[in-house]
Chain A
Amino acid sequence: MKKMSYEPVIGLEVHVQMATDSKIFCTCSNKFGSEPNTNVCPVCLGMPGVLPVLNEKVVEYTVKAGLALNCQIRTKSVFARKNYFYPDLPKAYQISQYELPICEHGYIDIELEDGTQKRIGITRIHIEEDAGKLNHEDGYSLVDLNRTGTPLMEIVSEPDLRSAEEAKAYLTKLKTILEYVEVSDCNMEEGSMRCDANVSIRPDSNAPFGTRAEIKNVNSFRNVERAIKHEQKRQEKVLSEGGKVVQETRLFNADTGTTASMRGKEDAHDYRYFPDPDLVPIVLEDKFINDLKEWMPELPDAKRARFISEYGLPGIDADFLVSVKAYAEYFEQAVKAHNNPKGVCNWVMGELMRRLNDKQCTIFEAGITPEHLAEVVKLIDEGKISGNIAKQVFDESAETGKKPSAIVEEKGLVQNSNEDELENIVRQVLEANPAETERFKNGEAKLQGFFMGQIMKASKGKANPGIVAPILKKLTS
């Protein structure tokens, strides 16, 4: 029997913690990692008699995200209560948006592996408050309400994703865009970005959607990919064995890479949503939205296009530079100092990234300023230093903060382009290696590398390869 192949249908719900200073409905600090129950007040504790007051920054941030994700912004949206009992939910309801969310009908374009673009729809973005946290210790469950009232935006995609890879590309793009508009630090380790994946499978792309399972709270891009792949396989197995996929909520176990049922549909919650009478509708004036449109920075897609047209960069380089806003900023600053975009880009992608990985720091903490990096490239372009020396100069500039030209000067690292001196060095190397010289003369071309290496060594790396190569050829022909 031929094994049946299925197409997965995936939709993602991403919770993003907003980078506000204070909570959504009170003035408590929104800081991560404080002592339990220290960032709390009667409002976020849900004490009798208190009322929520909306933090306006939250609206601003959500509208920024909505504009960046091509959404329509509702000029009137309302808060709703989502009612359920849980010890980490002080009011026994979460204030969220249900009908009439603040942003709707947006999209993100993602790039597929074959290089084509795919548009992924965004159903809605709504505002909600986070719940607290339970810490289970020694048979007790301790409630920490620091996180209650942390402002979140929930970004819900259309079921447009067709593979785990697409899901990952979507998340990556989403994270990049949100960082560009500075609404969240999108730090998955600290839980400021969390993802629920809705996964179903169907025999082919014309078939109706299958029954979906929801995988809750996956906390890294890699785990989202793993969870979807596993869930896809699990559902395929269920169907191939003649079973039926049931609608349920599942949890992903990062240790085993598998998903397990958390609750079925039969005990699905009835949240009894209704408009929160304590909060008036959010009414946005056109001016507010227009001001934010004015404020909008250049977004990754536009930046990528500009990098290709303005700097003549290959698409793959532009992709890399725009993937993190700071990389693009760094790049442009460096190009301003020395107009060799491709050269600068190569150094950013090469040596600078190597250093970031080694030091586990951000690009602006790497120790080398864009201007200094530009100077390294300029020294190469002017033929003053070789590529190898340049790496040495780069490292030293990064460690000490000194100007690369000063380092070159100080250490006498200027490239040697004196033909007479270089010819002498080449002769010495050839004489010191008679056997290899003979073989090279007889046509063993791969010895070119060996000789170049020896010449570099003899010149302490300062020989200008562009001048050495013809000399070597002349003396061995």
Chain B
Amino acid sequence: MLGYTLKQLSEALQKKEFSSAELTQFYLDRIQKYDGEIAAYNFVNENVLTQAKAVDERRAKGEALPAYAGIPMALKDLIIQKDMPATCSSRILEGFVPPFQGTAAQLLEDAGFLCLGKLSMDEFAMGSSNETAYYKKTKNPWDTTRVPGGSSGGSAAAVAAGLTTFALGSDTGGSIRQPASLCGITGMKPTYGRVSRFGLIAFASSLDQIGPMTATIQDNAAVLSVIGKYDKKDSTSLDVAQEDYTKYLTGDVKGMKIGVPREYFAEGITAEVRECVNNAIKAYEAMGCEIVDISMPHTEYAVATYYIIATAEASSNLGRYDGIRFGYRAEADSLKDMFYETRSQGFGDEVKRRIMLGTYVLSAGYYDAYYIKAQKVRTLIKQDFVDAFEKVDAIICPTSPTTAFKAGEKMSDPLQMYLSDINTISLNLYGGCGLSMPCGFGSDGMPIGVQLLGKYFDEGRLYNLAYAFEQQAKLPVMPEKLK
């Protein structure tokens, strides 16, 4: 069952090669066997087998079932699945079980998927290594002394280790693409407004987007086809037609123009990563693509701009964790102390750091100098993309400047950690789509990822480009020892 695409699983279930219960049990067994070491799951759904059996019964009766009926999957622990804990890997959400259903989870459920559980992440999606998680610091399946990346580290590791068929992650500044790159899988950050954020616990509302993390391009396209739907419950959701992205996967990319922005190959990118990505570029050239050198001059301001906007929004979004209505509450004698202690004990250092930064940049007297300025720079960065997409169909660059680093290596240096996302952040400021897929391995044996960036709602084109490369490269998607 391992190595099956979703389409193959769906067909196998329909042909009754195996049952949903067998498939689900297979994944539960793998979680049992490997998750002790990988530490990807915050929560495993005990009911999933019962749910799988119910699907099997319905199938046995010949009922009409949705396409993916009985296929298990898993969610990053900030995506709301009704009646399942949602912790954001934070102590402050200890015990919080949402009484409502999120849109992405609902769409997956409607398509027949079963939820195996919730995956670890950097606390409130703040981090690039999954080390800010309060409950479980996930390990990279390729080398467990290394980080899986973040913040969707649990999702990336679970897919890479075969502990789920696929997972949903969320990407605010690269949180799907960077861990996908570090774990050797495919991650897509869809266009802002493509996937409903209703049911996504907010980090930075104007940047967050849910996306699929998968072993193959085809699976990725299939999952986005399910969750990429307009939703009235999210005002920022865009009313565009739902698409079947698998239809784009022709492998014919001849004549496409791919831009190579020189700013994305700047210092900090290791020689290995650069070479590996350059090989991918050559492969595209060989497939008939036109490679165009481009410049995106405001790239150097992206990280600074991002940390102003994202932290400003986060400081506001995280105000609701006050101990009054849900989650963790500290004991204290007065209301003010209760607020104070709850938040002091409930949030970790990185979250506190960002709340303070965000509070500062929004405060009277600094608002114009920081927040307004950052919004202006954001407009310039967007314009870089608009200009680039007048010349090219897609942009190619490294996802992460390095392969997965050792656990603990960057924890004491937040700025160094922030630079892990240097090549992914700009896209969130622009709002377009971006995909990371494996393009080779470093001398340390760790996966290297290449990133394709596209304009608004151009996911189909990115999938086709990625598919063409994937068909040629035929890279292993899972460490040998876990097979």
Contacts and interface: CB of A to CB of B under 8 A. Distances in A.
A446 to B, nearest CB: 74
A48 B99 CA distance: 11
B74 interface: no
B86 A51 contact: no
Interface string A47-64: 111111110000000000
B339 interface: yes
Interface stretch (A86-94, A106-114, A233-241, A388-396): A86-94
B405 interface: no
Contacts of B201: 48-49
A278 B362 contact: no
Interface residues of B, number: 43
A127 to B, nearest CB: 14
A51 B80 CA distance: 13
B324 A51 contact: no
B319 A83 contact: yes
Contact of B205 (A143, A270, A278): A278
Q: Tell me which of B86, B201, B235, B312 has the highest count of chain A C-beta atoms within 10 A of its own C-beta.
A: B235
Contacts of A278: 202, 205, 235-236
A85 B339 contact: yes
Contacts of A91: 319-320
Interface string B392-412: 000000000000000000000
Given A85-B319, A90-B325, A272-B363, A49 B86 contact: yes
Nearest to A269: B364
Contacts of B331: none
Contacts of A48: 80, 86, 88, 93, 96, 98, 201-202, 320-321, 326
Contacts of B206: 277
Interface residues of A, number: 30
A81 B315 CA distance: 11
Interface string B245-289: 000000000000000000000000000000000000000000000
Nearest to B340: A85
B359 interface: yes
B102 interface: yes
A124 B200 CA distance: 35
Contact of B362 (A41, A49, A53, A272): A272
A138 to B, nearest CB: 16
B198 interface: yes
Contacts of B322: 85, 87, 92
Interface string B320-360: 11101110000000010001000000000000000000010
Given A85-B339, A277-B206, A280-B235, A49 B198 contact: yes
A42 B82 CA distance: 12
A46 interface: yes
B94 to A, nearest CB: 13
Interface string B79-111: 010000010100001001011101000000000
Nearest to B236: A280
B320 A90 contact: yes
Contacts of A270: 363-364
B357 to A, nearest CB: 13
A45 interface: yes
A450 interface: no
A439 to B, nearest CB: 83
Contacts of A83: 315-316, 319, 362
Q: Tell me which of B96, B236, B319 has the highest count of chain A C-beta atoms within 10 A of its own C-beta.
A: B319
A279 interface: yes
A2 B12 CA distance: 101
Contacts of B98: 42, 47-49
B235 A279 contact: yes
A179 B217 CA distance: 60
B371 A274 contact: yes
Nearest to A145: B325
Contacts of A53: 232-235
B285 to A, nearest CB: 40
A93 B321 CA distance: 12
Interface string B53-82: 000000000000000000000000010100
A47 B235 contact: no
A78 B227 CA distance: 29
A415 to B, nearest CB: 68
A274 B200 CA distance: 21
Contacts of B232: 53
A454 to B, nearest CB: 76
A87 B233 CA distance: 26
A280 B321 CA distance: 24
A59 B363 CA distance: 29
B26 interface: no
Nearest to B92: A48
Nearest to B102: A49
B171 interface: no
A47 B198 contact: no
Interface string B365-383: 0010001000000000000
Nearest to B204: A277
A47 B319 contact: no
A91 B317 CA distance: 8
B421 interface: no
B456 to A, nearest CB: 15
Nearest to B100: A42
Contacts of B359: 272
A6 B212 CA distance: 69
A92 B358 CA distance: 15
A289 to B, nearest CB: 21
Contacts of A93: 316, 319
A77 to B, nearest CB: 14
Q: Tell me which of A41, A143, A277 has the highest count of chain B C-beta atoms within 10 A of its own C-beta.
A: A277
Contacts of A41: 100
A51 B234 contact: yes
A158 B25 CA distance: 70
A279 to B, nearest CB: 5
A49 B234 CA distance: 11
A51 B197 contact: yes
Interface string A97-138: 000000000000000000000000000000000000000000
B265 to A, nearest CB: 32
B449 interface: no
B209 to A, nearest CB: 12
Contacts of A49: 78, 80, 86, 98, 102, 198-202
Q: Tell me which of A48, A49, A50, A53 has the highest count of chain B C-beta atoms within 10 A of its own C-beta.
A: A48
Contacts of B235: 51-54, 278-280
A143 B206 CA distance: 31
A280 B234 CA distance: 10
B459 interface: no
A280 B235 CA distance: 6
B123 interface: no
A81 B316 CA distance: 8
A188 to B, nearest CB: 30
Given A48-B96, A278-B236, A92 B320 contact: yes
Nearest to A271: B364
B313 A51 contact: no
5 shortest interchain CB distances as A-B pairs: A92-B319, A277-B206, A277-B205, A272-B362, A48-B201
Interface of B: 78, 80, 86, 88, 93, 96, 98-100, 102, 197-202, 204-206, 232-236, 312-313, 315-316, 319-322, 324-326, 335, 339, 359, 362-364, 367, 371
27 contacts: A42-B98, A46-B325, A47-B326, A48-B96, A48-B321, A49-B78, A49-B200, A50-B100, A50-B198, A51-B234, A51-B235, A53-B235, A83-B315, A87-B322, A90-B324, A91-B320, A92-B322, A93-B316, A270-B363, A272-B315, A272-B364, A272-B367, A274-B313, A274-B362, A278-B205, A279-B236, A280-B236
Given A50-B199, A274-B367, A279-B235, 7 more contacts: A48-B326, A51-B236, A53-B232, A83-B316, A90-B320, A274-B362, A278-B202
